[in-house]
A and B are shown apart, each in its own frame.
Chain A
Amino acid sequence: MAHSQQEVLAGLAELVNDETGIAADAVQMEKSFTDDLDIDSISMMTIVVNAEDKFSVKIPDEEVKNLITVGDAVTYITANQD
């Protein structure tokens, strides 16, 4: 079942909150994972793996470095869902 962009953003915000404690409503499309949200690489990998499970999507390691902003991740996940 494909998720809408809005659903992916909300789900991703939940994963970020769960991993880091950052308030879900602070996870907005234009925010950078590292510069704005201060998420380290280890947390990022955990979030990516959990996102793969949650949205039935594969996010290859070489793709992760391109996911600079929350919007990048939401776009990638929305476009690549099974």
Chain B
Amino acid sequence: MRRVVVTGIGATTPLAGDAMSSWEALLQGKSGIATLEQDWVAKYELPVTFAGQAKIAASSVLSPQEAKRLDPSSQFALISAREAWADAGQPEVEPERLAVDFATGIGGVQTLLDAWSTLQERGPRRVLPMTVPMLMPNGPAAAIGMALGAKGGARTAVSACASGNEAIANAFHRIQRGEADVVVAGGAEAAIHPLPIAAFAAMHALSRKNETPEEASRPYDIDRDGFVMGEGAGALVLESLESAQSRGANIYCEIVGGSVTSDSYHITAPDPEGAGAARAMLDALEQADASIADVEHVNAHATSTPVGDIAEYTAVNRVFGTHTENLVIAATKASTGHLLGGAGAIEAIFTILALKQQQVPPTINLDNQDPAIPLNVPRSMARLQRPDAVAISNSFGFGGHNAVLVFRNI
């Protein structure tokens, strides 16, 4: 099977408007979480009044006409994909050999809800003709495919918060099997709107630390009380090694594993035994032809929910046993919040940069680490010691979806 490398990265996140600035802010221990200023927070008396909004508004990057025809999730997707494409040096590839694997967890939810309001208040004739193409969950993948001229297939993985990782895994396998030479892969989400906030709050999934939003996302901390919603997108350019080498491209690292499993346990709760998550990690490592001792860095899913963080620890422990204590863990949602379908993509970028630069970003807000989760989670920037080791990035989603990626320096 063909080897696959990462040759471009792009992102727009609550920390910054591009990938490298997001990474720098992460290394500096910044938080992208803040109180929401929108009128609707008070109007609907939302129980959660903060989130991680994209640092740079998409409307300030795209032309008004472009923005008008895209749901915010597709806007973020397009911005991140263009950055990744430029970063990769705009590879010359036959359109039929260029594909897109771009995920979203929820799709064009803002478009859908705005259209429903319009219908109720102003009638059917005022519902925008672009409503359907804007709300469909394949909108981000289609927008990227059109912008870059990709004709090798534009696919959308939809597996809640595992979507971004699943899309990247799909892209990886597609190039491995020779179905495409270059794939733009990643995920986007734009769900900061009163209804998703009310709905996630109704299931008590969100932190309610309204007085201290910057401290609300606190994976592994004893006082964690839920995740913090974030928005944005991340994109990778994946490419066959031969394609990258033949054009002398800058290579970040190699992607060597991508596995997707499902718990078949509960629609929202993770399997407390962590069996499905563990299987995803083991399978991804097997694809990478790596042993558990070959792993040094893990970018954890770690959303800051009481049960989720424990379940992931259980799964990690199940896979790594006594090697668990040697792992250097980062829980970057502490800084970015949870980008849902975009989470895996931006965390893949953070994992890749950690591997390449051999430095792990700090996990902020970890004031009192939960004694039930005795992982090595640096609170300030830490050096990695083994450039030949692999790094893994975990994502898990409602529905019992588990998706794990493995990267290695080249």
Segment of B42-50, B124-132, B289-297, B298-306 in the binding face: B124-132
A20 touches B65 (CB 8 A): yes
A 46-57 binary contact with B (CB < 8 Å = 1; else 0): 100100100000
**Chain B residues whose C-beta falls within 8 Å of the C-beta of A49 in the assembled complex:** 125-126
Rounded to whole angstroms, the CA-CA distance of A41 and B130 in the bound complex is 10
Tell me if B68 is interfacial: C-beta within 8 Å of chain A: yes
Can you name 16 extra interface pairs (CB under 8 A) apart from A21-B65, A43-B129, A46-B128?
Answer: A18-B64, A19-B65, A19-B68, A20-B65, A21-B63, A21-B64, A41-B129, A42-B129, A42-B130, A42-B133, A45-B129, A46-B129, A46-B130, A49-B125, A49-B126, A52-B125
In the complex, what residue of chain A is closest to B132 when comparing beta carbons?
A42
**Chain B residues whose C-beta falls within 8 Å of the C-beta of A52 in the assembled complex:** 125
Whole-angstrom distance between the Cβ of B249 and the nearest chain A Cβ: 33
**Chain B residues whose C-beta falls within 8 Å of the C-beta of A41 in the assembled complex:** 129
In the complex, what residue of chain A is closest to B65 when comparing beta carbons?
A21
**Chain B residues whose C-beta falls within 8 Å of the C-beta of A19 in the assembled complex:** 65, 68
Rounded to whole angstroms, the CA-CA distance of A69 and B182 in the bound complex is 43
A 32-70 binary contact with B (CB < 8 Å = 1; else 0): 000000000111011001001000000000000000000
Rounded to whole angstroms, the CA-CA distance of A21 and B128 in the bound complex is 18
Identify 19 residue pairs between A and B in the complex whose beta-carbon atoms are under 8 Å apart, listed by A's number: A18-B64, A19-B65, A19-B68, A20-B65, A21-B63, A21-B64, A21-B65, A41-B129, A42-B129, A42-B130, A42-B133, A43-B129, A45-B129, A46-B128, A46-B129, A46-B130, A49-B125, A49-B126, A52-B125
Size band of the interface chain A makes with B: 10 to 19
Which B residues, 105 to 136, have Cβ-Cβ distances below 8 Å to chain A? Answer: 125-126, 128-130, 133
**Chain A residues whose C-beta falls within 8 Å of the C-beta of B65 in the assembled complex:** 19-21
Whole-angstrom distance between the Cβ of A47 and the nearest chain B Cβ: 10
Which B residues, 53 to 108, have Cβ-Cβ distances below 8 Å to chain A? Answer: 63-65, 68
Whole-angstrom distance between the Cβ of B344 and the nearest chain A Cβ: 32
Rounded to whole angstroms, the CA-CA distance of A9 and B218 in the bound complex is 57
B 132-164 binary contact with A (CB < 8 Å = 1; else 0): 010000000000000000000000000000000
Rounded to whole angstroms, the CA-CA distance of A43 and B63 in the bound complex is 16
**Chain B residues whose C-beta falls within 8 Å of the C-beta of A45 in the assembled complex:** 129
Rounded to whole angstroms, the CA-CA distance of A41 and B126 in the bound complex is 16
In the complex, what residue of chain B is closest to A52 when comparing beta carbons?
B125
Whole-angstrom distance between the Cβ of A74 and the nearest chain B Cβ: 21
**Chain B residues whose C-beta falls within 8 Å of the C-beta of A21 in the assembled complex:** 63-65
Rounded to whole angstroms, the CA-CA distance of A49 and B126 in the bound complex is 7
Rounded to whole angstroms, the CA-CA distance of A45 and B130 in the bound complex is 10
Rounded to whole angstroms, the CA-CA distance of A78 and B126 in the bound complex is 22
**Chain A residues whose C-beta falls within 8 Å of the C-beta of B125 in the assembled complex:** 49, 52
Of listed B68, B125, B128, B129, residue having the most chain A CB within 10 A: B129
Rounded to whole angstroms, the CA-CA distance of A2 and B130 in the bound complex is 30
In the complex, what residue of chain A is closest to B133 when comparing beta carbons?
A42
Rounded to whole angstroms, the CA-CA distance of A49 and B130 in the bound complex is 13
Of listed A20, A41, A49, A52, residue having the most chain B CB within 10 A: A49
Rounded to whole angstroms, the CA-CA distance of A20 and B63 in the bound complex is 10
In the complex, what residue of chain A is closest to B68 when comparing beta carbons?
A19
Rounded to whole angstroms, the CA-CA distance of A45 and B131 in the bound complex is 12
In the complex, what residue of chain A is closest to B130 when comparing beta carbons?
A42
Whole-angstrom distance between the Cβ of B147 and the nearest chain A Cβ: 16
Rounded to whole angstroms, the CA-CA distance of A41 and B129 in the bound complex is 9
Rounded to whole angstroms, the CA-CA distance of A19 and B73 in the bound complex is 20
Rounded to whole angstroms, the CA-CA distance of A36 and B133 in the bound complex is 25
Whole-angstrom distance between the Cβ of A7 and the nearest chain B Cβ: 23
In the complex, what residue of chain B is closest to A61 when comparing beta carbons?
B125
B 363-400 binary contact with A (CB < 8 Å = 1; else 0): 00000000000000000000000000000000000000
Rounded to whole angstroms, the CA-CA distance of A52 and B122 in the bound complex is 13
